[in-house]
A and B are shown apart, each in its own frame.
Chain A
Amino acid sequence: MKNFLIILSLIGLVVFLFMGAVIGSYNNLVSLRNQAQTQEAQIEAQMQRRADLIPNVVEATKGGMAQEKTVFASIAKAYALFQNAPSGSTDKLAAGDQLGSAIRGYLVVVQQYPQLKSLDLVRDLTTELEGTENRISVARQRYNESVLAYNQARQSFPGSLIAGFFNFQPIPLFQADSGSKTAPKINFSK
């Protein structure tokens, strides 16, 4: 009888230790996935911050470069696409990237208008745009770091077993569009 009970409690012990490991690994995956999702939301928040500047930027420059219809059209289109994309979707981030492209093209054109460049308002708005660009870049970096941590936990042992059982999907890295690395800087030197 006593031996039976010892074996039973040993089995119970093993089960509990196993449960402990499962719980620990599961919680870790949940936490890492949450961090990745938080970082993704941060990218979107910074993209929104950049998009919110667009109306002011257009307003400040449309008088001085009214003939640049293509540029204004492309920014307006990209802006609308971004605003309409559902929050939290990959479409939103892709639209944000396209808006970034449109903004960069727009800033290149503003370069060619010295009387616009010299306006304090234009200068400050461009500073804010560049600020949001950097914030997006940093947010994207942090997102990719958190995604790597999550994917790593998901692929290594014992996370791989837990992930398979509880259906933890891999998260894709956010690839920067090729233009974003070479953002043109406006030279405001007087």
Chain B
Amino acid sequence: MKKIILFIILFLAMAFPVYAAYPSPTGYVNDFAGVLKPATRKALNLKLSNYKKTTTNEVTVVIIKSLGDQALEDYSIGLADQWKPGVKGKDNGVIFLIAIQDRKMRIEVGRGLEGNLTDVQSQHILDDIVKPQFRDGNYDQGVTDGVNSIISTLNTPQASTSASSNASDNSGVLSILFILLIIGVIGFAVFLLHDGSGSSDSEISDDSSDDFSNAGAIAGGAILGSAMAGRSSDDSDSSDESSDSDDSSTSSSSDSSDDEGGFGGFGGGSFSGGGASSGW
């Protein structure tokens, strides 16, 4: 009984940060505190939206009123896990998070960009470029300069440190199951053909072969079904399934308009906690 209670408590404690209420993204610039002028917001949204088109990197600005009870880093990674900016597989997302009342900010860098925008670089952007502006109350200038610095740092070719480290074994399991699937389909087809060929040896076995082949077909289906069901649940949000970069299809979804009405959501990139924090 104690174990069950412990399990429930731990489960809730672990699950709670993930399911904490984060607002939904409205675009590449999400000013939930209303500190930016509309012109700034529009200009930045357009810039980041175009940046996404040319590079597929998804950089987003998030300005909130307050962190509440949460630590900056906890809020940031929780937000990253929920919104998942960045193309899935490429993990090329960046969140520039600003908490106005707490006077804290963080740049959260997606796994795939950790080599292009290092922790030290993020720290310098926040401390040297954004902080002075924020201290003077110039949120528009500070955010704009910060975004420009992030973009220019990302554009600078770097010796990329290997960000994708874990070779996931799931691909091996999947391919085995896929082979099982193909064998099952072939077996199924053989059973069907055997049934219809009518070239059985004796007329007596004709009757029994019907039942057997039917049973075989059903069994084949059952094995196929279980093989599909046994496939690992690869929809888990936190699982470490970063595939190699050549897996990700770069066929971008057709973004209709190029103004701020064209935000179609983020691409499912994952984060491992890289970036830097600061305040003012």
Q: How far, in Å, is A156 (CB) from chain B's closest CB?
A: 11
B173 at the interface (CB under 8 A from A): yes
Cα A127 to Cα B121 with chains together (Å): 10
Report if A17 contacts B (CB, 8 A): yes
Q: Give Cα distance in the complex from A141 to B273, angstroms.
A: 11
B residues with a Cβ closer than 8 A to A are 7, 10-11, 14, 17-18, 73, 77, 119-120, 123, 127, 165-166, 168-170, 173, 177, 207-208, 211-212, 214-215, 218-219, 222-223, 225-227, 229-233, 236, 238-240, 271-277
B170 touches A31 (CB 8 A): yes
Q: Is the CB of B173 within 8 A of A31?
A: yes
* Majority DSSP secondary structure for residues of B touching A: helix
Do A144 and B14 form a contact, CB below 8 Å, given A20-B223, A35-B240, A137-B73?
yes
In contact, B273 and A35 (Cβ under 8 angstroms): no
Q: Are B222 and A17 in contact (CB under 8 A)?
A: yes
Do A146 and B239 touch across chains, with their CB atoms under 8 A apart?
Answer: yes
Closest residue of chain B to A151, judged by CB?
A: B7
How many residues in A have their beta carbons less than 8 Å from beta carbons of B? 55
Which of A23, A42, A123, A173 has a CB less than 8 Å from the CB of B226? A23
In the A-B complex, list the 9 residue pairs whose CB atoms are closest, starting with the nearest: A20-B226, A27-B230, A138-B273, A31-B232, A131-B119, A9-B215, A24-B230, A16-B219, A24-B229
B272 lies within 8 A of A139 (CB): yes
The residues of A with any CB-CB pair to B shorter than 8 Å are 1-2, 5-6, 9-10, 12-13, 16-17, 19-21, 23-28, 30-32, 34-35, 38-39, 41-42, 45-46, 123-124, 127-128, 130-131, 134-139, 141-142, 144-146, 148-149, 151-152, 155, 173, 185, 188
Query: B240 — which chain A residues lie within 8 A by C-beta?
Result: 35, 38-39, 42, 142
CA–CA, A5 to B272, complex, Å? 58
Kindly list chain B residues whose C-beta atoms are within 8 Å of the C-beta of A138: 77, 271-273
Contact of B170 among A6, A19, A25, A34 (CB under 8 A): A34
Cβ–Cβ contact B275 & A131, under 8 A: yes
Which residues of B lie under 8 Å from residue A25 when comparing CB positions?
Answer: 230
- Collect the chain B residues with CB atoms within 8 Å of residue A124's CB: 120, 123
Query: Contact: A9 with B274, CB < 8 Å?
Result: no
A-B contact count (CB 8 A): 137
Given A17-B222, A46-B272, 5 extra CB contacts under 8 A: A2-B208, A19-B222, A24-B230, A27-B173, A31-B173
A12 touches B215 (CB 8 A): yes
Most buried by B among A10, A17, A138, A173: A138
Report the bound CA distance from A163 to B227 in whole Å: 18
What is the minimal beta-carbon distance from A49 to any residue of chain B, in angstroms? 10
CB distance A41 to B275 under 8 Å? no
Report the bound CA distance from A9 to B119 in whole Å: 64
- Look across to chain A and name the residue whose beta carbon is closest to the beta carbon of B71: A181
Complex Cα spacing A188 to B165, Å: 32
- CB neighbours of B127 from chain A (8 A): 188
Return chain A residues, CB-CB under 8 Å to B173.
Answer: 27, 30-31
A71 to B17, CA, bound (A): 35
Bound: A2/B240 CA distance, A: 53
17 cross-chain CB contacts under 8 A:
A2-B207, A2-B208, A5-B211, A19-B222, A19-B223, A20-B225, A46-B272, A130-B119, A131-B274, A135-B274, A137-B73, A139-B273, A142-B240, A144-B10, A146-B239, A151-B7, A155-B7
Chain A residues within an 8 Å CB radius of B227: 20, 23-24
CA distance A20 to B220 in the complex (A): 10
Residues of B within 8 A of A145 (CB): 14, 18, 238
Given contacts A127-B123, A139-B273, contact A5 B208 (CB under 8 A): yes
